[in-house]
Copies of this chain bind each other. A is one copy, B any other.
Amino acid sequence: MPRETARGTITLRDVALLAGVSRSAVSRTFTAGASVSDKTRAKVEKAATTLGYSPNALASSLTTGRTKMIGLVSNNFHNPVFLEVFDLFTKGLQARGLRPLLVNLTDEVRPEDSIRLLRAYSVDGVIVASSTLPASFAEGFHDAGVPVVHSFGRHIANPQVNVLGIDNIAAGRLAARTLIERGYQRIAFLGGPATATSTQDRFAGFAEVIRASGLDLSFSYASNYSFDAGRAEMLRLLAAGAPAEAYFCGDDVLSIGALSAIQSSGLRVPEDIGVIGLNDMEMAGWANINLTTIHNPFAQIIAASIDVIAASLNDNSRAPEARLFDCSIVERGTLRPLP
């Protein structure tokens, strides 16, 4: 008698009974590389399909120690660029048979809670996708023994955890050189929140080059990486009078906010004011935006992040690596052309 199937779930037992083999045999037919004869495999598969059996991944995780779930943690649920990021991460993880367990950190930056949560769910690894969180956040997972990669995080020489992303300092330098090449003199930095590591680094590289050229540099910060914050800050700058000739904005969405402020005030881009962004999100290429920006190679970074996390699953003692990816200028319509 196939026992009370109270919750209706079909288990290994049921299949074994129907196929007339042991539970081990059923288990083995469903684990790759196990030793099963063609004959029993056939019997088991037949029984499994007639019952509509599919193995319980969570139960097996108990003994194998692997859930094939990856925590995907982010705090950027308002920046359009992150839609591309989620798309690439989910597709990339799925392609490797990994499942993203999503954690929205928007209002919550206490690492302990996320760590406890993701440990409770025994995720095999964690991807922290954020350019604004401090390194300590990802390190918390590492300290808890969970493989982790910090995507879009701050680069440092000897990191505690894997960190993959662009060199924000170099990106700042690139922005500065680009503006200088085009003959801009009164140049400004309109950054994201001053607390974000990405903002700090972009500013550092930018300021270094501008000042080395003997130019003045004014700078200010938007309250966060958002359209409204970019627009508000640019409106403030315009109202204060004597805006700069060109602005390096913290990222694309901030740039778009700034552009809208400039348009509202009747000034023209790039004739009166030039703007360069960073990220090259899809929208930056839209014909009505046409933002000159610095390309952030998301697809590469994400593919590499997944490679690294997958490698860490097999060998958690890997030394953490900090990998940098090159940025490049995408010339569109918000800077005047090279002289």
Contacts and interface: CB of A to CB of B under 8 A. Distances in A.
B120 A104 contact: no
A260 B286 contact: yes
Given A8-B145, A56-B122, A58-B122, A80 B80 contact: yes
A54 interface: yes
Interface in A293-338: none
Given A58-B67, A87-B104, A100-B102, A283 B80 contact: yes
A62 B62 contact: yes
Nearest to A92: B104
A110 interface: no
Nearest to A90: B104
What is the oligomeric copy number? Answer: 2
A227 B104 contact: no
A238 B285 CA distance: 21
B80 A86 contact: no
A130 to B, nearest CB: 14
A91 interface: yes
A119 B10 CA distance: 11
Nearest to A83: B83
Interface in A43-72: 54-59, 61-62, 65, 67, 69, 72
Contacts of A121: 57-58, 69, 99
Contacts of A231: 286-287
B77 A90 contact: yes
Interface residues of A, number: 54
A259 B283 contact: no
26 contacts: A7-B65, A54-B116, A56-B122, A62-B62, A69-B121, A77-B87, A78-B83, A78-B87, A80-B283, A82-B83, A90-B102, A90-B103, A91-B104, A94-B103, A94-B104, A99-B102, A99-B103, A99-B121, A101-B101, A227-B286, A231-B286, A231-B287, A257-B286, A259-B288, A260-B287, A261-B287
Given A227-B283, A286-B260, A120 B7 contact: no
8 closest A-B pairs by CB:
A90-B104, A77-B87, A260-B288, A57-B120, A260-B287, A58-B58, A83-B83, A100-B102
A313 to B, nearest CB: 13
Contacts of A263: 288
Contacts of A57: 120-122
B91 A106 contact: yes
